[in-house]
Amino acid sequence: MSGPLVVLGDALLDKDLEGRVERLTPEAPVPVVDEPSERARPGGAALAATLAAAAGGAEVILVSALGDGERGRLLGRLLDLAGVEVIDLGLAGDAPEKVRVRAGGHTLLRIDRGGAGRPGALSAEAELALAGAAGVLVADYGRGLTAEPSVQAALERIGPGRPVVWDPHPKGATPVPGARLVTPNRAEAAAAARLTPAAPGPGAELAMAANAGRRLLAAWRAAAVAVTLGARGALLVEGDTAPRVFPAPPVAGGDPCGAGDRFAAAAAAMLAGGALVSEAVAGAVAAASHFVAGGGAAAIDLGAQRPAEPGLGGHHQGGGLRAAQRLAAEVRARGGTVVSTGGCFDLLHAGHVASLRAARALGDCLIVCLNSDASVRRRKGAGRPLVTERDRAAVLAALDAVDAVVMFDEATPARVLDQLRPDVFAKGGDYALAELPEADLLAAWGGQAVILPYLEGRSTTRLLEEARSHGQDAS
């Protein structure tokens, strides 16, 4: 992914008051919530940005209006903790707030307040962020930001090479023409398409979603519409092809709060990384299901490392330096050892896997510094790499031994290593330690470069030679 993922939309402050219920009040047949504990987290577009940053893989910038009161300031601190850069457009008054009163994992009551102020116009800083984005997620919560003329004009100027994903709201603006993907839920899709809600049953629901998706595809002039169906997954309408359904894996229990934001954030990140729309929707369904099973928005811990999500790669997913830096900081805070290695990893083979496992065994996390396609070509020649950087990163991130992947364009990973400052740099191959340019660099901060044993006869070059030999024999 070249450039940040920009999330634009209405930010909210969400709070959960979680207590226990053992009796009803004598004044009315309603539960008494005893000793509730309060927990605040980003909500709305701020939640979508937080989830995108937690998944890793790219820098995340939130363009929103936080408000100038106590709630807005708290929201800003939470976003900073989440690793999200904020471009605040200004809001007259305080940030809107949603409070859920919960007990036993169930929501008993929700209280909404604030948010009457109008956001400011798009700033020059925000326009620059949008212009340099790898992808844009519009998280519309119907509070006016997406309807601002300056915002609409900036979004319409984004070229087709940079995907715009629009998560709409019934009270929000119409998605700009040319959006790569629009992600209404079934109720939003039915309302926008002016259809009556579907009768009970999966068949009727899918028929309604397909009909709504076709209507909205034309009305919004979007490239694709994915109607999210909760526990049933999502239905994708794209071009003239038949609608495709992406079922969700079974989830026992969980909390669906925030699942739509997780879906949209995952789809936007994958599209920004070069995925096809169908790949992005499949990955987003898996991510949202994993999120719900893990407790949804109520389970977000801004200070904890998030586990891997199915279909999205390793713990900090893909090639994000900031995500890898957060991982390294978390490991060090626990007194652990950060290990790094580097290479092209073109045509991953048993030798690579053995080296990666050996490197991971040296510490408590392994960050792989991966040569970009351009870097591989300079080292190996015009015919390499055989596998693109995106696919090489995805394969590496899927390995149990790998905790994060960071791309670099230079001849060596020195710049990335200087920013990560690992305790150990491990290199597999037939080297002498003096031949490793990384050895002196690691020594500068007290780290150690080491050589790992490698499996004889395992190399990408040898695989290619054998493939050519077999091809000649066959001819």
Other Cβ atoms within 10 Å of 219 Cβ, number: 14
Supply 19's token pair.
Answer: 């207590």
Point out the catalytic residue in the list 140, 261, 373, 403.
261
CA-CA distance, 46 to 79, in Å (whole number)? 7
The candidate with the shortest Cα–Cα distance to 142, out of 288, 11, 13, is 11
**Alpha-carbon dihedral 185, 188, 191, 197, rounded to 10 degrees:** 40
**Which whole-number Å values give the CA distances from 9 to 139, 144, 154, 265, in the listed order?**
5, 9, 13, 12
- 3-state SS record for 102-141: EECCEEEEEEEECCCCCECCCCHHHHHHHHCCCEEEEECC
Q: Give whole-number Cα distances, 447 to 160, 321, 327, 357, 453, in Å.
A: 45, 19, 17, 20, 20
CB-based contact 229:205 (threshold 8 Å)? yes
SS3 449: strand
Q: Any catalytic annotation for residue 473?
A: no
Measured distance CA(84)–CA(460) in Å, rounded? 39
Closest CA to 90 of 144, 157, 131: 144
Counting DSSP H helices and E strands in the chain, the numbers are 15, 18
Backbone CA torsion sign across 121, 123, 127, 133: negative
C-alpha span between 416 and 341 (Å, rounded) = 11
d(CA 373, CA 2): 13
Q: In whole angstroms, what separates CA 83 from the centre of its chain?
A: 13
Contact (CB, 8 A) for 214 and 192: no
The two structure tokens encoding residue 383: 């015919």
Catalytic residues: 261
